[in-house]
């Protein structure tokens, strides 16, 4: 049995949602539509001090490490804040892990919403016993995001759990499984291996997605998971978007949301294991990006179609 995870309380109209930039920098124009959407739902977005900051140090961060730490700790611990929504991902969330504080958060847990680089913060929160929402950030990517993705995220904030029926995929492995949902961006799941912040994989349902990886890099990450014994421990696997993969090939074929060759590589790596696997799940760096709850108990049933139910 998984350890009991705390779900933050549902939001009510008028509640404040903190907007933070824990990794890459973002411009005001890139958040305008997302902030207006939050307001239209009856919530009040409150911007962190360095949401629109910029600090270049080999990568355009939204601020220095200390500035980003301060913003996130404010959002986590301010009693007036009811949820936290990341402006974007990028790179930089790992810098914050040693410095996060949860003193007031523990008395007033709140939903953290984000994906991509935010996977490491969600792993941290789960280790501390709190669920989070792996979902579209405030900044939409160049390929946009489906309206239903945001709607479902607001549904979770109001207390409604998602259920999915996913079209059949040639790489699916049939079967049933249940367990606590973990994971997120594969590159970050991989980056945390061997650290105290890594997910606990035993008896879990692992979700992975990624963007812009060369095929050999994807295989290296999968091999690291295999060598770490991850695939021997999990009860099931859900594979989301694999987009803009295989850049070395420079082939239009590899720009699909669910890259077929990436899926083949994953399928080959896990074929000797008997857990059920769902391919083509609508979550990741893709247009049809719908929310998942990291830390929630989830059931998967893979037959002609795949059912994923919280």
Instruction: Compute the distance between CA of residue 52 and CA of residue 96 in angstroms, rounded to an integer.
Output: 18
Instruction: Compute the distance between CA of residue 275 and CA of residue 72 in angstroms, rounded to an integer.
Output: 37
**pLDDT tens sequence across 106-165:** 999 999 999 999 999 999 999 999 999 999 999 987 778 999 999 999 999 999 999 999
DSSP state of 117: G
- Mean pLDDT calculated for residue range 243-255: 66
Burial class of residue 193 in the structure, from the number of CB atoms within 10 Å of its CB (0-12 exposed, 13-18 middle, 19+ buried): middle
Nearest CA to 193 among 221, 173, 213, 157? 221
Element spanning 120, H or E: helix 119-127
Residue 87 has pLDDT above 60, yes or no: yes
Q: What is the mean pLDDT of the chain?
A: 95
Check if the beta carbon of residue 171 is closer than 8 Å to that of residue 279.
yes
Beta strands in the chain (DSSP E): 16-20, 44-47, 55-56, 60-61, 81-86, 111-114, 132-134, 163-166, 175-185, 205-211, 236-243, 277-279, 292-294, 297-302, 306-309
DSSP state string for 5-71: -BPPPPP-TT-EEEEE-SSB---HHHHHHHHHHHHHTT-EEEE-TTTT--EESSSEESS-HHHHHHH
For residue 2, what pLDDT is reported?
55
**pLDDT tens sequence across 253-284:** 546 799 999 999 999 999 999 999 999 999 99
Instruction: Compute the distance between CA of residue 87 and CA of residue 64 in angstroms, rounded to an integer.
Output: 16
Joined together, the tokens standing for residue 7 give 């779900």
For residue 144, what pLDDT is reported?
84
Burial class of residue 1 in the structure, from the number of CB atoms within 10 Å of its CB (0-12 exposed, 13-18 middle, 19+ buried): exposed
- Where in the chain are all domains bearing CATH 3.50.30.60? 163-309
Joined together, the tokens standing for residue 174 give 């049939």
Instruction: Compute the distance between CA of residue 81 and CA of residue 45 in angstroms, rounded to an integer.
Output: 9
Burial string for 232-266 (b: 16+ CB within 10 Å, else e) reads eebbbbbbbbbbbbbeeeeeeebebbbbbbbbebb
Q: Evaluate if pTM is beyond 0.75.
A: yes
User: Residue 287 — very low, low, confident or very high, per pLDDT cuts 50/70/90?
Assistant: very high
Q: What is the fold, at CATH topology level, of the domain defined by 16-157?
A: Rossmann fold (3.40.50)
- Mean pLDDT calculated for residue range 293-307: 97
Q: What is the CATH number of domain 163-309?
A: 3.50.30.60
Nearest CA to 178 among 274, 308, 299, 295? 299
For residue 255, what pLDDT is reported?
60
Instruction: Compute the distance between CA of residue 159 and CA of residue 296 in angstroms, rounded to an integer.
Output: 13
For residue 41, what pLDDT is reported?
98
**pLDDT tens sequence across 204-242:** 999 999 999 999 999 999 999 999 999 999 999 999 999
- Mean pLDDT calculated for residue range 68-89: 98
DSSP state of 255: G
- Where in the chain are all domains bearing CATH 3.40.50.10740? 16-157
Instruction: Compute the distance between CA of residue 31 and CA of residue 94 in angstroms, rounded to an integer.
Output: 23
In Å, what is the CA distance from 79 to each residue of 46, 73, 75, 247?
Answer: 13, 12, 9, 45
For residue 142, what pLDDT is reported?
76
For residue 210, what pLDDT is reported?
97
């Amino acid at each position: 049995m998984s350890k009991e995870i705390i779900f933050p309380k549902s939001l009510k109209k008028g509640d404040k949602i903190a907007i933070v930039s824990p990794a890459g920098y973002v411009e005001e124009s890139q958040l305008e539509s997302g902030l207006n959407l939050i307001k239209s739902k009856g919530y009040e977005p409150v911007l962190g001090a360095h949401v629109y900051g910029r600090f270049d140090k080999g990568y355009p961060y939204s601020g220095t490490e200390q500035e980003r730490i301060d913003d996130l700790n404010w959002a986590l611990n301010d009693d007036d804040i009811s949820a936290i929504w990341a402006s974007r991902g990028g790179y930089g969330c790992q810098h914050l892990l040693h410095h996060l504080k949860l003193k007031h958060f523990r008395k007033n847990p709140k939903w953290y919403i984000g994906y991509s680089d935010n996977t490491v913060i969600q792993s941290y929160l789960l280790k501390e016993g709190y669920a989070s929402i792996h979902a579209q950030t405030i900044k939409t990517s160049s390929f946009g995001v489906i309206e239903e993705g945001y709607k479902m995220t607001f549904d979770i904030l109001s207390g409604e759990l998602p259920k999915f029926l996913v079209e059949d995929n040639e790489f699916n492995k049939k079967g049933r499984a249940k367990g606590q949902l973990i994971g997120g961006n594969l590159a970050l799941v991989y980056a945390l291996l061997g650290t105290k912040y890594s997910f606990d994989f035993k008896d879990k349902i692992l979700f992975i997605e990624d963007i812009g990886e060369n095929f050999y890099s994807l295989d290296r990450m999968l091999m690291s998971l295999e060598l770490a014994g991850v695939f021997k421990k999990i009860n099931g696997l859900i594979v989301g978007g694999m987009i803009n993969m295989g850049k070395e090939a420079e082939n239009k074929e590899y720009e699909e949301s669910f890259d077929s060759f990436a899926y083949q590589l994953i399928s080959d790596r896990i074929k000797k294991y008997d857990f059920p696997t769902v391919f083509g799940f609508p979550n990741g760096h893709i247009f049809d990006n719908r929310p998942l709850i990291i830390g929630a108990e989830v059931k998967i049933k893979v037959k002609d179609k795949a059912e994923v139910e919280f």
